[in-house]
Structure 1
Amino acid sequence: MTKQLTEFTAQKTILLKTFKRDGTPIGTPINIAVEGDHAYIRTYDAAWKAKRMRNDPRVEIAPSTFRGVPTGEPVNARVRLLDGAEARHAATLLARKHRLLHGFLVPLFHRLKKYKTLHYEVRLDVP
């Protein structure tokens, strides 16, 4: 499992595919921070991807460009909403990897828009 996730360690952006209730996949480029056998992503409570992940924790991730064009093979994964110390740890790792974006701009934007920031743990599906 760890071997597959290591390809995302240097990756700044991934294409995250979440699934609608009817099973239709919706892709969104999103930043990632990998730690060991899991990774962290961040979004806000009013985002459609957050609503889809709330209904179905299955996701598909693939390395991608900043615009969401896949640059590698997708892998199946599951997400888990974090809170408390786990969410703070995820925020720290994202801010460390993406200093300007997640260290300053995203938190500022969420505060200004009065969004609740959500952090998720991503783990690959065990075959």
Structure 2
Amino acid sequence: MGMTTRLTRFADQKTILLKTFKRDGTPIGTPVNIAVEGDHAYIRTYDAAWKAKRLRNDPRIEIAPSTFRGTPTGEPVRGRVRLLDGEEARHAAGLLARKHRLLHGFLVPLVHRLKKYKTLHYEVRLD
């Protein structure tokens, strides 16, 4: 798998700053976890989150490496997301759970279940 992509630098990154865009174009940044696979990556959120609403209206994103709290630690890159379902969503969930064992293997699914959220998985591709 010797393919290096612009996403490679996010492979060891636990948290990224995800910027989504409001209807008026205002960017809103949120720290999220990421799992990189080849030329694309996966992120997850839940249906009631504001970022999910913004992504429904506008799939454009900007991502940058960041601290756990969302302070950027590198240059941002532009991309787009695509909402996944079925087997693709299960695949994304598995990769996130493998990389972030406690958080996405256990805590996030538990909280989403308890709060009756629908977990949404997105594929990230850079422009």
TM-score range, shorter chain: over 0.9
User: Residue type matched to 2:30 in 1?
Assistant: T
CA distance in 2, matches of 1:20, 1:42: 19
Instruction: Provide the aligned C-alpha RMSD in A.
Output: 1.0
| Counterpart secondary structure, 1:3 | coil
Asked whether 1:58 is paired with 2:60, we answer yes
Q: What's the CA shift for 1:2?
A: 4.8
* Structure 1 stretches lacking a partner, 5+ long: none
CA distance in 2, matches of 1:44, 1:107: 10
Q: 1:103 to 1:70 in 2, by over 3 A?
A: same
Aligned length: 125
Identify the residue that residue 86 of structure 1 maps to in structure 2. Answer: 88
Q: What's the CA shift for 1:4?
A: 1.3
Q: 2:18 aligns with which of 1, 6, 16?
A: 16
User: Residue type matched to 2:83 in 1?
Assistant: L
* Structure 2 stretches lacking a partner, 5+ long: none
User: Residue type matched to 2:104 in 1?
Assistant: H
| Counterpart secondary structure, 1:111 | helix
1:40-75 CA distances to partner (integer Å, 9 max, x unpaired)? 000000000000000000000000000000000000
CA distance in 2, matches of 1:39, 1:124: 9
Asked whether 1:116 is paired with 2:95, we answer no
Percent of residue pairs bearing the same amino acid type: 89
Structure 1 residues 8-47: aligned runs within 5 Å? 8-47=10-49
| Counterpart secondary structure, 2:73 | coil
